[in-house]
Structure 1
Amino acid sequence: MTAARALSPSTDQSRKAFNHSINTFGSVQALVIDDDVLFAGLQGGLIAVYSLETYDLVSTVHAHEESVLGLTLSDDHRFLFSGGADSTVKIWSTQSLEHLWSIHSYFEVGDVFCMAYSARYRTVLFGAQNGSISWYQIEDKGRVPLSRATSSTRQHRFFDSRGPGGAPHPLQQLNGSAHSHLPNTHSLTIPSTSYKQYAHKSYVYSMILAKGLFQYDQEEEVMITSGGDGSIKLWRIDALESGNLQCIFHFKNKGASVLCLTCSGSFLYAGLADGTAHIYNLASCQLIQRLNVGLGEVSQVQVQPGTILYGTSHGWIKQFNSQFLEVDCWKAHQGKLLAMSIKAPPKTCFITGGNDNKILFWDASQQHRQPLLGSEWTNDDILDALRQFVSYRTVSANPRFTTDCHEAVAYLRKLCSSFGATTALLSPGEHISPILVAKFLASTQSNDTKTILFYGHYDVVDAEFGAALDSAIWNSDPFSLHPQDGFLYGRGVTDDKGPILAAIFAVADLVKQKKLSCNVTFLLEGDEEAGSRGFRSTVLAHRKEIEPVDYVLLSNSYWLDDHIPCLTFGMRGVVHANITVTSNRPDLHSGMEGKAIQHEPLKDLTVLLAALIGDTGTKIKIADFYESVDSISEEEKCAYQALTAALLPGHPEIKRPQEFAQSLIQKWRYPNLTIHRVEVPEAKTAVTISGYAKATLSIRIVPSQTAEDVADKLTKFLNTTFGSLGSSNSLNVAITSKADPWLGQIRSELYKKLKQAIAEVWTLSTALNGRTFPSYESSTPVIVDQSTGARASHRRTSSLASHGTFTIENTPHEPLFIREGGSIPAISFLEREFGAPAAMFPMGQASDNAHLDNERIRVENLYNGREVLSRVFAEL
């Protein structure tokens, strides 16, 4: 028997991509997986519950007065057991996180490091700091008097002794008052007969139960413990009721504490403080392998078929195969690795926690994965696809990234083709990224089969990242997907790469299942962020290749807040213009050449801008501009009031509901003129009369107006006003871009299906398979991750100051119908040209930071968006 050689970690080995990262409220001391949720025991006494699907924080409870040091589950997953530095063991319902019982030792045991629960004997056992093992039979809890004082409030003979003069220290008084409010109606005291003193000669670090070691009874359980004394002991627990805990075998390790244990079949795996790991055959009671893990103390061990995973106190993970050969090694945590748990197939992953206040999710089977080749496409597949899609720097406004744009559309085309679509690339013109048309046919064709045209864009606004960039505030590479705290960070994840993939995978699921009820045509352009050059003419030229179209669907906008799903049914249009006044003379000196009657370019431009917006600057003075703007009806006012009322329960910052409703009305259904900037040539001195002046402005218009008419009126107004000045200068009005407004038909069949699907999907996503966890406790601290910046974030569309504090009880059960003040040129064009009603389904939250630093999309929104579209495509 020889020690396996340890590989020296290289730079490449130390870098391994995690599936997700969660920032916690303190050091992660314990982790345990229960089906769809993760329980985490934290420094400070908190138990936090996270969704394994979306990585969201689901619930928290202050479980112990000091740190939670251990967690374990009952075999039937009904009970969660927690042990703490307050010398108590507590039992919780895994379905509701209800506190069932607190168990205290009659003796002063110190910290509780480990626990095990025997379902056969309905007994919880735990090992403690003083080397003892205690046990309690839950079904007999009524026979023992309730404790009048928990062990954490009892006076310790040394630590709680009075100071000089016989007076208690102020901290002792504070500690006593902190515990005085704790309820003791479920508090149980272990009888002195259920206590094994000196079970180990040092701390009892680990405790597990094993079956199948006795041939006469394969279900008989044996308890295995390890301690700071370097020993591993096997105990019979069938006579606990009589107070008999019998050690039946003893493995000795000279000098090195045994910090962790796990068992698989008849093999026992142990991690030691000297950096080694031992494997024992329990059937023959012999040590069969010693591994040199190194890189600190071996504090954690987990086993799955063919793989052994060890975690060390220096934050490293080493992976060995079934022949005990090292196959992988990487740095997982910046501090100590304190906890590890593993989830069994089909979705194998393992989870680690450390004193760097992070929980990391790893794919244990990643090296064996073959994406998109399985019987069905999972959420992991869409994340893999998004990771690849985001890596293309598809900045359409910069010719440097033309190759990335072409590679991205080739990737999309290949993906759609692999899912069964017929595809074609349309060229809008030279040096413009191509438009992808991908057609998926309904599983069953008939005369009533409808066709949905899904529009999206794969190009993005540029983003910079790097230590040399003083102005860059991206916290991670924008073109490398970064999963953290239930969100996915990266340029384009919410605008519009994430929603595009959600729609493609929704269709792919239905094609494989033969449940696609409608034809779905994807129309994905690569130049939206650069003005959609050539898009209209290309669509019109290839109209026959795109038709038929019964509905137009987009997913390229955002919720009103971060909590309530929305459906967008209206957007303002826009007219962008540059106004330039030019002199036929060069720059002049104002002292030498300036005259009161002289028309200077900047003065002329100032007069024009003032004429446009009037004395107050709040009203557009173009003749007949407001003539076609509809007055708001009483029905509309009621709708805005109802929308505000739905937001109030979760947004206490809305102090004046009427004013908030009015602000939405002003943003969504009334026009507005904005002067973005005024430019003059760089003056050599402060007394220069510039030879020209230029203003850039935009006018947001509403559905009763048209961009063409407003552009004509703007041009006419400026030319007429300038003509009345009698200026020797020249005026140029350039309409740089325009888009018509859009107002959707909320009673269309597509909106009805979207509304129904959103209500169903988001209700299911909050159900947690029947669990009824409490909401976060009000005293739960707020996480501000130092590595990713402050908690506050930019918002693109929201007027709300907070993300929302809704509960299940006061959250609206249907999506909010909203409008948006921004513009998307394609939506009104496609609706008009194909004569098909359009609908907008936003997946992003208000705080997604589209076009800004640290753009993100919530994992739950991406998954739910996929499910919503899957239901719509299956039923329309």
Structure 2
Amino acid sequence: MTPPPNAADPTTADRRAAHEAALFELLRIPSVSADSRHKADVERAADWVQSRLGGMGLAVDRLPTPGAPILYAESPPVAGAPVALVYGHYDVQPPDPLDEWQSPPFEPTVRDGNVYARGATDDKGQMLTHVLGVETLLASGGPLPLQVKFLIEGEEEVGSEHLEAAVARHKDRLACDVVVVSDSSQFAPGVPAVTYGLRGIAYYELLVEGPKQDLHSGTFGGGVTNPANVLAKLLAALVDDSGRIRVPGFYDDVRPLSERERDEFSRLPFDEARFKKQLGVEGLSGEEGYSTLERRWARPTCDINGLWSGYQGEGAKTVLPARAGAKVSFRLVPDQDPKKVTAGLRELLDPLVPPGARLTIKPHHGAPGVVFPLDSPYMEAAASAIEQGFGARPVFIREGGSIPIVNTFARELRADVLLLGWGLDDDNTHSPNEKFNLGDFHRGVQASAALWASLAKGESGQGKGE
């Protein structure tokens, strides 16, 4: 493993080169958690991160789980100062389809100031900025101004199956005032951001069953209930023409956007024409009365994620299908309860099923939305550090996606969470040609190094690490 830079490094360029070398080493490890053939590579990535943390002089441990190792490390407590916990992951998505990569997914390649590799931005590169930020401060010869803890896992890309239990089991050890997560994006190039809210999710599989087998649509059509027709009517009933979701009680607990938030969102440099061009669409739609950013970040939604029924092959086959299915997700905002959504969904759909058909609603995963106060001293500390690293004041945004572990941290550790993304929205996460801008990588290291002093100065803390 490349040795960490130390205080004797003569130039900033030398330190940047050493940081890039470390990043490229980690990116070369194909730690694909979804593929059992890469189990040894996942372990190897854990070993690499553990060695790096230990090489900084931190106390490092592996928290036992039935799956991939969860690494825990900590610096010494600092009396009267807050405690920060950094969360990240060293596992990556599968690289498929391989033929769409312009360079091998596990051979980091630099083009136009970006490094291309699986895991570059999600999340090896972003996670590593915090490791290197702490390492840089320690290499300068002085102690950290507060206690920093690390919790780095290897199963995020397969649902973090064992992490929630580990957090609950070790919450005394993990106690902190603020959690730092960098696994998201800036608002735009040159416009860094602090994300203060996430939507939750409620995900379902709907199955409509009719006759015991597919039937001839000419012989039986009109006399037998068609499950595909029924499913189409059920899905059409979910949302009205104004974009409002028709599930009973769905909006009862929706936390409205504040005027401050709506004003802040409207001031962001969002180019709707560019957004449409980026997506390859001619128009946008959604809930009436809200802007595109408000719909994406802070309003609940319903989307059909998958559909199947009947004959899918080439040419025509006139069948009345025996079964039809769909996958449906609702994005939730703070205060909405996934269990209440499930009850409302059944109340809406069950009466719409005609004789001769049976509906099964299978809930999958669910998580509530979360929002953190903008007036938290940790928000201002993060903004100050980002401005030092990126040379620009960050904007405050919400995110339409869901990170269930954030809810776990907030609930179990009773801590605020700072979502500080250094990536960009075109980094191709989970897709071929994933990338990370190297300038942003280095700026992320600088922002991280500045964050610890900023947090220590901005809040006296509760001494949770002592």
CA offsets, 1:263-304, max 9 Å, x none?
Answer: xxxxxxxxxxxxxxxxxxxxxxxxxxxxxxxxxxxxxxxxxx
Q: Does 1:731 align with 2:359?
A: yes
Q: Does 1:703 align with 2:334?
A: yes
Shift of 1:706: 2.9
Q: Secondary structure at the match of 2:356?
A: coil
Shift of 1:669: 1.1
User: Partners in 2 of 1:736 and 1:434 — Cα distance?
Assistant: 26
User: Partners in 2 of 1:497 and 1:674 — Cα distance?
Assistant: 30
Structure 1 residues 144-155: aligned runs within 5 Å: none
Shift of 1:385: 1.6
Indicate the residue corresponding to 2:118 in structure 1: 491
Q: Classify 1:550/1:397 alpha carbon distance in 2 versus 1 (closer, same or farther; 3 Å).
A: same
User: Partners in 1 of 2:48 and 2:206 — Cα distance?
Assistant: 42
User: Partners in 2 of 1:821 and 1:839 — Cα distance?
Assistant: 16
Q: Secondary structure at the match of 2:329?
A: strand
User: Partners in 1 of 2:107 and 2:22 — Cα distance?
Assistant: 12
Match of 2:137 among 496, 501, 510: 510
Structure 1 residues 11-410: aligned runs within 5 Å: 371-372=3-4, 374-375=6-7, 378-410=15-47
Q: Classify 1:743/1:450 alpha carbon distance in 2 versus 1 (closer, same or farther; 3 Å).
A: same
User: Partners in 2 of 1:691 and 1:824 — Cα distance?
Assistant: 37
Aligned residues: 436
Q: Classify 1:516/1:669 alpha carbon distance in 2 versus 1 (closer, same or farther; 3 Å).
A: same
Indicate the residue corresponding to 2:179 in structure 1: 552
Q: Is the 8 A contact 1:620 1:672 kept in 2?
A: yes
Gaps of 5+ in 1: 1-368, 467-471, 654-658, 764-812
Indicate the residue corresponding to 1:794 in structure 2: none
Q: Does 1:821 align with 2:407?
A: no
Match of 1:674 among 303, 326, 347: 303
User: Partners in 2 of 1:390 and 1:682 — Cα distance?
Assistant: 43
Higher radius of gyration, 1 or 2? 1
Indicate the residue corresponding to 2:72 in structure 1: 437
Indicate the residue corresponding to 1:741 in structure 2: 369
Q: Classify 1:725/1:847 alpha carbon distance in 2 versus 1 (closer, same or farther; 3 Å).
A: closer
Indicate the residue corresponding to 1:606 in structure 2: 232
- Answer 1 or 2: higher relative contact order, Cα 8 Å, separation at least 6: 2
User: Partners in 2 of 1:726 and 1:661 — Cα distance?
Assistant: 36
Q: Is the 8 A contact 2:206 2:359 kept in 1?
A: yes
CA offsets, 1:812-863, max 9 Å, x none?
Answer: x411111111111111221121111111111112322222221111111111
Match of 2:267 among 626, 630, 642: 642
More strand per residue: 1
Indicate the residue corresponding to 2:383 in structure 1: 755
Shift of 1:683: 5.8
Indicate the residue corresponding to 2:416 in structure 1: 837
Q: Does 1:590 align with 2:217?
A: yes
The amino acid that maps onto 1:854 is N
User: Partners in 1 of 2:111 and 2:25 — Cα distance?
Assistant: 17
Shift of 1:603: 2.1
Indicate the residue corresponding to 2:63 in structure 1: 426
Q: Is the 8 A contact 1:531 1:737 kept in 2?
A: no
User: Partners in 2 of 1:526 and 1:852 — Cα distance?
Assistant: 19
The amino acid that maps onto 1:507 is V
**Which sits farther off after the overlay, 550-559 or 851-860?**
851-860
Shift of 1:427: 4.0
Q: Does 1:717 align with 2:353?
A: no
CA offsets, 1:293-325, max 9 Å, x none?
Answer: xxxxxxxxxxxxxxxxxxxxxxxxxxxxxxxxx
Q: Is the 8 A contact 1:506 1:867 kept in 2?
A: yes
Structure 1 residues 796-815: aligned runs within 5 Å: 813-815=392-394
Shift of 1:736: 1.7
User: Partners in 2 of 1:732 and 1:376 — Cα distance?
Assistant: 66
Shift of 1:582: 2.3
User: Partners in 2 of 1:375 and 1:816 — Cα distance?
Assistant: 33
Q: Give the TM-score taking structure 1 as reference length.
A: 0.47
Shift of 1:405: 1.1
Match of 1:856 among 402, 411, 435: 435
Shift of 1:755: 0.8
The amino acid that maps onto 2:156 is E
Q: Does 1:568 align with 2:198?
A: no
Q: Classify 1:735/1:643 alpha carbon distance in 2 versus 1 (closer, same or farther; 3 Å).
A: same
Indicate the residue corresponding to 1:480 in structure 2: 107
Shift of 1:604: 2.2
Q: Classify 1:726/1:663 alpha carbon distance in 2 versus 1 (closer, same or farther; 3 Å).
A: closer
Shift of 1:398: 2.0
CA offsets, 1:9-55, max 9 Å, x none?
Answer: xxxxxxxxxxxxxxxxxxxxxxxxxxxxxxxxxxxxxxxxxxxxxxx
Q: Give the TM-score taking structure 2 as reference length.
A: 0.86
Q: Is the 8 A contact 2:97 2:432 kept in 1?
A: no
More helix per residue: 2
Q: Classify 1:548/1:636 alpha carbon distance in 2 versus 1 (closer, same or farther; 3 Å).
A: closer
Indicate the residue corresponding to 1:539 in structure 2: 167
Shift of 1:593: 2.5
Q: Does 1:629 align with 2:260?
A: no
Shift of 1:477: 0.8
Q: Secondary structure at the match of 1:568?
A: strand
Q: Does 1:692 align with 2:323?
A: yes
User: Partners in 2 of 1:521 and 1:753 — Cα distance?
Assistant: 18
Q: Classify 1:736/1:752 alpha carbon distance in 2 versus 1 (closer, same or farther; 3 Å).
A: same
Gaps of 5+ in 2: 10-14, 278-287, 457-466
Q: Is the 8 A contact 2:200 2:366 kept in 1?
A: yes
The amino acid that maps onto 1:757 is A
User: Partners in 1 of 2:321 and 2:65 — Cα distance?
Assistant: 40
Indicate the residue corresponding to 1:412 in structure 2: 49
Q: Is the 8 A contact 1:394 1:408 kept in 2?
A: yes
Q: Secondary structure at the match of 1:640?
A: helix
Q: Is the 8 A contact 1:608 1:722 kept in 2?
A: no
Q: Secondary structure at the match of 2:81?
A: coil
Q: Secondary structure at the match of 1:849?
A: coil
The amino acid that maps onto 2:243 is T
- Cα RMSD (Å) of the superposition? 2.7
Q: Classify 1:425/1:729 alpha carbon distance in 2 versus 1 (closer, same or farther; 3 Å).
A: farther
Shift of 1:581: 1.7
